[in-house]
Structure 1
């Protein structure tokens, strides 16, 4: 999907995933979304509040913080997709892609 972001956030459910798997899943889900798209990521891994902001910082996406979920719902986090994110490896999105792969 390309074009203009919608007003509705794109939900990415990472419930039960370790952050390694969550980042693989997240990268696949957002790779064809337009810049500016708001993404809500549900993540139960206790490392998510550290890993998601670090990954956003590395890629250039904007980490917007934890969302109020309330009532025993799993934690969720918001991010906004960058216009020109730093490419990452498809098999290891916590690593930048080699320069020759860009």
Structure 2
């Protein structure tokens, strides 16, 4: 179980926003609702794009998190996230 005390850490490294969201979306698919994820991301757009993506999909953005050697951001997995297009994780599925 990936809760607040034992979050799943996903290292997005220096991936651009699109590739970062594709990786994140793929990893969230198998997680239980309420699981906490720390996403490590050095892309300067991550602090803007990740909250917007969480709002779009229904996941809860938890903000920046400490304890990592690079910038990291937390989110809580939604029980019923909204689907996004396979090739465009920032666009709702139709």
2:81 maps to which of 71, 79, 85: 85
Q: Runs of 4 or more off by more than 4 Å in structure 1?
A: none
Secondary structure of the corresponding residue to residue 95 of structure 1 = coil
**TM-score if structure 2 supplies the norm length?**
0.91
Instruction: Spell out, residue by residue over 1:36-62, the C-alpha distance to the aligned partner (whole angstroms, 9 max, x if none).
Output: 010000000000000000000000100
Q: Which residue of 2 aligns with 1:58?
A: 56
Once the two structures are TM-superposed, the CA of residue 77 in structure 1 deviates from its matched residue by: 0.3
- Check if 1:25 corresponds to 2:38: no
List alignment gaps of at least 5 residues for structure 1. none
Give the conservation status (yes or no) of the 8 Å contact 2:2–2:37: no
Q: Which residue of 2 aligns with 1:97?
A: 93
Number of residues paired by the alignment? 92
Once the two structures are TM-superposed, the CA of residue 69 in structure 1 deviates from its matched residue by: 3.8
Once the two structures are TM-superposed, the CA of residue 68 in structure 1 deviates from its matched residue by: 1.8
Secondary structure of the corresponding residue to residue 51 of structure 2 = helix
Radius of gyration: which is bigger? Answer: 1
Give the conservation status (yes or no) of the 8 Å contact 1:27–1:90: no
**TM-score if structure 1 supplies the norm length?**
0.84
List alignment gaps of at least 5 residues for structure 2. none
Once the two structures are TM-superposed, the CA of residue 74 in structure 1 deviates from its matched residue by: 1.2
